[in-house]
Amino acid sequence: MPLALDSDLIERARDGGDALDALVAAVWPEAYRIAVGILRDPDLAEDVAQDACAAIVRSLPSLKNSGSFASWSYRTIVNAAITAARRHPRVQGLDAVADAVTTFDSSDAIDVRNALAGLSAVQRAVAILHYYIGFDSREIAIATSLPSSTVRFHLMLARRALRRALSPDEPATLSPDEVLPHVR
């Protein structure tokens, strides 16, 4: 579920104290869920989520509009997770993904874990933000600092890869028309 925080809480958190603790407590579950979905390693995801929350706290005074807090914090979290994924490309721990981002039964969760593992870090980030957080491509673009067209392209590739991984009847490779459907 996307972050929906009261702008008054965000403003009070700028002064520190209990409001800042409440803000971090509200951001933490989403930060961890996104990080573990992208990184596939619960320990590394916990570190990344903590770092992202610390970065949010440090940068909170520079946030000009409290109404943009959600997209701004998602961007911080996603960027931290993608950076960590690039530094740790062979991260293990796929068992944590289903627990963090799925509500399927265990056999479906294993399939989803394996399918997500086959995606690049950017495609995992886009897919998680779309399917588990509920963002549209514009919101994902804001959260990832990617152009909307790039988000849609990565989402298309992720969707097709997930479909192939979860449906044995799908073709193993994409035709040129599937990869670039608008080019003729």
Residue 184 lies in a domain: no
Residue 1 lies in a domain: no
**Which structure tokens are listed for 30?**
């989403």
Task: Provide the number of structural domains found in the chain.
Answer: 1
Residue 145 lies in a domain: yes
pLDDT tier at 53, thresholds 50, 70, 90: very high
pTM beyond 0.75, yes or no: no
How many angstroms separate the Cα of 43 from the Cα of each of 2, 32, 71, 84, 127?
Answer: 23, 10, 25, 12, 21
In this predicted structure, the answer to whether residue 88 has a pLDDT above a threshold of 90 is no
Residue 135 lies in a domain: yes
For residues 50 and 17, the model is more confident at: 50
Interval 159-183 mean pLDDT: 61
